[in-house]
């Protein structure tokens, strides 16, 4: 086997999707050379690739994620603007139909980009390709970790070329980060070098979604660029969203929980759209030109690997992104929570305390996990550890808050900040809001 020694100050990132790319960028602050190992061969442009099947579907870049990505890669927002990705002010260019009807239009001061996943990936990747400290190994798959003689430290990875010669290499590095996503093999890699695999928690609402892309008709007029028709569990598990992205296109994603999966044939897709709590999306796309097939997706369980609970951990190794915690994608939290974990990585390395990273990541994940699983537990068929009575009380409170959004702009502002991961959820429990929710009569 060929042994390749990377520079003395070197890092390896396993996985070249958004979490991996942002990790690589962050690591260039601390290491002379960063190698990104990606099992796919990247397309030449902003195109679909096998390793990101969800790129066919709607992706939401929350305001907090937008802020972090711009801080890591200054000027990326301008590049997305130049590529035609619409700039949206949440609450003003976006609109929501929920339990109380339409949330009134208001200026939130929170901005993001309405962008396809392939364009976001490609624009980010181009930045990394231009960075002399970053090297990509495309078409390679990591098969395991290498460790010091006493197994106290990870010293690199073993990798094999996919297809062709099946060449094998060992890359030595000072720091290895697994950002390989839901399919991460980190638990097996750890057990192979003498460590325990983490416990896992899975919460599954059996939610599936289907997506079709359309050409926006020039004559279509509406104030909004992005439109969300929220589901209303437990009685109505159906919801949908229409996002305007670059190229004058609409991406329409329909979702249904409790195994009420949206069909992927045209007639079924349109009928499901018509059945949503409000017909706005159906009315918008009736005359729009479809730009391709309808794609379905049903791997939406929330999966948390409790690496923070392990008492033994090798130095020189970290796991982040979906490899630690994969959320139900329908809530659009994945990219932003991954970016927040990259911030935690930066903070740990700047403090000279990489051993604290697992706990830092656990704190980042905690709030988003509770938000995503708490929402999924509204559906009666959801499987997972049973929630307590406090979760049911929370559901009743949030139901009232969602109705009040249509009457209280200040509450709508706070709700937008919380859902954008800019403000902690505790902000929704200010005494004035609690009093309104408790005294509200529908």
| pLDDT one-digit tens code per residue, 202-247 | 999 999 999 999 999 888 999 999 999 999 998 899 999 999 999 9
Query: Are 124 and 24 members of one domain?
Result: yes
66 domain-assigned:
no
77 domain-assigned:
no
**Strand, coil or helix: what is 228?**
strand
Query: In sequence order, which residues have a C-beta less than 8 Å from that of residue 240 and are 6 or more positions away?
Result: 228, 229, 252, 253, 254, 255, 273, 276, 281
pLDDT of residue 51: 83
Q: Is the pLDDT of residue 3 over 70?
A: no
Pairing of strands 134-138, 238-245: unpaired
Domain end marker among 269, 297, 325 = 297
**What is the value of pTM for the model shown?**
0.94
Looking at residue 144, what DSSP letter applies? E
Range of the domain at 153: 2-54+120-201+302-373
Which helix (H) or strand (E) covers residue 266, if one does?
helix 266-274
**Domain CATH code at residue 159:** 3.50.50.60
236 domain-assigned:
yes
Q: Are 378 and 371 in contact (CB under 8 A)?
A: no
Domain end marker among 277, 297, 317 = 297
| Digit-coded pLDDT (tens) for 72-114 | 999 999 999 999 999 999 999 999 999 999 999 999 999 999 9
232 domain-assigned:
yes
| Tally of domains within the chain | 3
Q: Is the pLDDT of residue 440 over 90?
A: no
Query: Are 94 and 231 members of one domain?
Result: yes
């Amino acid at each position: 086997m060929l042994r390749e020694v990377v520079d003395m100050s070197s890092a390896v990132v396993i996985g070249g999707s958004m979490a991996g790319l942002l990790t690589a960028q962050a690591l260039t602050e601390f290491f002379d050379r960063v190698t990104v190992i990606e099992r796919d061969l990247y397309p030449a442009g902003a195109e679909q690739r096998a390793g990101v099947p969800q790129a066919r579907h709607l992706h939401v870049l929350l305001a907090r994620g937008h802020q972090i990505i711009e801080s890591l890669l200054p000027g990326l927002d301008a590049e997305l603007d130049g590529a035609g990705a619409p700039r949206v002010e949440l609450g003003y260019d976006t609109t929501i139909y929920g339990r109380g009807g339409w949330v009134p239009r208001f200026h939130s001061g929170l901005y993001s980009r309405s962008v396809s996943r392939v364009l976001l990936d490609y624009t980010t990747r181009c930045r990394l390709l231009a960075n002399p400290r970053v090297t990509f190994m495309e078409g390679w798959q990591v098969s395991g970790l290498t460790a010091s003689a006493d197994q106290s430290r990870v010293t690199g990875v073993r990798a094999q070329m996919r297809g062709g010669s099946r060449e094998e290499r060992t890359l030595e590095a000072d720091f290895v980060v697994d950002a390989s996503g839901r399919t991460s093999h980190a638990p097996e890699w750890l057990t192979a070098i003498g460590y325990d695999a983490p416990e896992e928690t899975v919460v599954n609402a059996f939610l599936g979604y289907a997506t079709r892309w359309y050409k926006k008709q020039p004559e279509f007029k509406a104030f909004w660029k992005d439109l969300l028709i929220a589901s209303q569990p437990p009685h109505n598990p159906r919801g949908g969203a229409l996002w305007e992205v670059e190229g004058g296109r609409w991406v329409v994603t329909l979702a249904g929980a409790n195994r009420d999966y949206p069909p992927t044939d045209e007639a079924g897709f349109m009928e499901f759209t018509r059945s949503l709590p409000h017909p706005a999306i159906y009315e918008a796309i009736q005359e729009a030109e479809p730009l391709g097939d309808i794609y379905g997706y049903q791997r939406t369980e929330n999966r948390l690997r409790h690496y923070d609970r392990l008492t033994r951990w090798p130095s020189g190794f970290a796991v982040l992104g979906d490899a630690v915690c994969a959320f139900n994608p329908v809530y659009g939290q994945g990219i932003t929570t991954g970016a927040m974990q990259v911030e935690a990585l930066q903070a740990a390395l700047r403090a000279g305390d990489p051993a604290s990273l697992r706990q830092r990541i656990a704190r980042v994940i905690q709030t988003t996990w509770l938000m995503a699983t708490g929402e999924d537990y509204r559906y009666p068929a959801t499987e997972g550890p049973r929630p307590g009575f406090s979760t049911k009380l929370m559901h009743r409170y949030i139901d009232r808050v969602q109705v009040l959004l249509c009457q209280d702009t200040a509450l709508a502002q706070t709700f937008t900040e919380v859902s954008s991961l800019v403000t902690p959820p505790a902000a929704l429990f200010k005494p004035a809001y609690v009093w309104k929710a408790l005294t509200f009569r529908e």
